[in-house]
Structure formats: structure tokens, C-alpha cells
Amino acid sequence: MKIFINQVPFEGLSLEEEISPAELDLETEMIKFHSGLKIKAHVERAINALIVKLSMHAVLSACCSRCLEEFEWDLNKDVQLSYPFDNSITFVDLNPDIREEVMLDYPVKPLCSEKCKGLCVKCGKNKNEGGCNCGST
């Protein structure tokens, strides 16, 4: 998402864009996107800075670090950023900051649920699906 400074009126500007995860290199081994990254931005122009309020939304999936099942979650994040500018600059590119903000929200240890029981250490059965018969409790 690029914002051209001379296109921002003093009363502010609202923008919407859907960015493909590939364009921002957002997917990792653990994290996959099931939708584009939807961005809503409200841009205000101060005397020598742009103030950008961003709302980000995407549907993602990850592998649970306990039971190894894939699960989906909604990423929703609001941030406010500011971009100082002077006469040498005609636009600001938000993409590096958008990428960083999204990736900051990735869980270090994804869990399908706080209550996930994980796998049986003996037989490997997913304990969320009921007890196992291997004798371990």
C-alpha cells in the first residue's frame, strides 16, 4: 500500500486494499494464509507527517504445537503509524511496516485451543479426540 502525499487532503483519506500474502512474503513454514490480507487505512495529514490508522484482517492457519492439527484463526490488528515527510518525498510505502506488524502477531507456539490436550506421549493419539487404549492416562 502506497500513499502519495499530495493525494491526502487535510480532512483525511480512507483507503482499502487487499494485498496478497505472497507479495509481502508473509507465509512461513508454520503459518499459511487462507485469504488475502485486507487492509483498511485512514490517513491524516499533519504539517510534516502522515498519521495512518490501519486495520488489518486475514484468515490464517497454523499447526498446533501440541496436537499437530491444523487450525484456523482470524488475524485482526489495529495499529497507528506515523510517517514524517519533507519536500524530498512524494509517497510513503506502508508495506514493510504492514509486514512487520502482521508477523509480530504470529504465535511463537501456536495452540488450537488453550485447553489442547496434545498427543499421548506413549502411542501418539490425539487426546482431544478421547482417551487412548495404550494404558497411559
Which of 19, 66, 75, 98 contacts Zn ion by CB under 5 A?
66
Residues 78-137 close enough to bind Zn ion by CB under 5 A:
112, 116, 120, 122-123, 125, 132, 134, 136
Please report the sign of the dihedral spanned by the C-alpha atoms of residue 16, residue 14, residue 99, residue 78: negative
Q: Which is nearer to Zn ion, 52 or 60 (CB)?
A: 60
User: Least distance (Å) from Zn ion to the CB of residue 29?
Assistant: 17
Q: Distance of CA 56 to CAs 9, 11, 80, 99, Å?
A: 23, 22, 11, 10
Distance CA 105, CA 120 (A): 29
Length of the chain, in residues: 137
Tell me if 1 contacts Zn ion by CB under 5 A. no
User: Least distance (Å) from Zn ion to the CB of residue 80?
Assistant: 34
Give Cα 125 to chain centroid, integer Å: 31
Which of 67, 75, 92, 98 contacts Zn ion by CB under 5 A?
67
